[in-house]
């Protein structure tokens, strides 16, 4: 996660943190993630996209308070 609040790359105004909702399976809200590599069908193509062995990072979403531009970050997890 960023230590400082980012600024809008278009107009340099303040960005406010929010999220892009992914309702997922059965309308359950879950975090949106960035997945490395190309999308590949899951086993027999019946269950969506395979995530086996792929790195996943939660996405942070920010909105400019002045122009409305959306900025998303997928910060590398810190361990």
Q: Which two tokens stand for residue 42?
A: 């899951």
Tens-digit pLDDT profile for residues 2-59 = 557 789 999 999 999 998 877 666 667 777 889 999 988 887 767 788 888 999 999 9
pLDDT value, residue 51:
87
Supply the DSSP symbol for 53. Answer: T
* Distance, first Cα to last Cα, the chain: 12
Q: How confident is the model at residue 75 (pLDDT cuts 50, 70, 90)?
A: confident
Predicted model pTM: 0.69
Q: What is the pLDDT of residue 78?
A: 56
What is the side-by-side strand order in the sheet with 15-18?
Answer: 15-18, 60-64, 70-73
Q: Measuring CA to CA, which residue among 38, 62, 42 is closest to residue 50?
A: 42
């Amino acid at each position: 996660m960023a230590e400082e609040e980012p600024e809008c790359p278009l107009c340099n105004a303040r960005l406010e943190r929010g999220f892009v909702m992914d309702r997922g399976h059965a309308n359950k809200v879950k975090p949106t993630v960035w997945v490395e590599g190309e999308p590949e069908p899951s086993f027999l193509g019946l269950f969506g996209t395979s995530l086996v062995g792929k790195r996943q990072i939660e996405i942070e979403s920010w909105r400019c308070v002045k122009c409305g531009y959306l900025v998303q970050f997928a910060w590398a997890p810190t361990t």
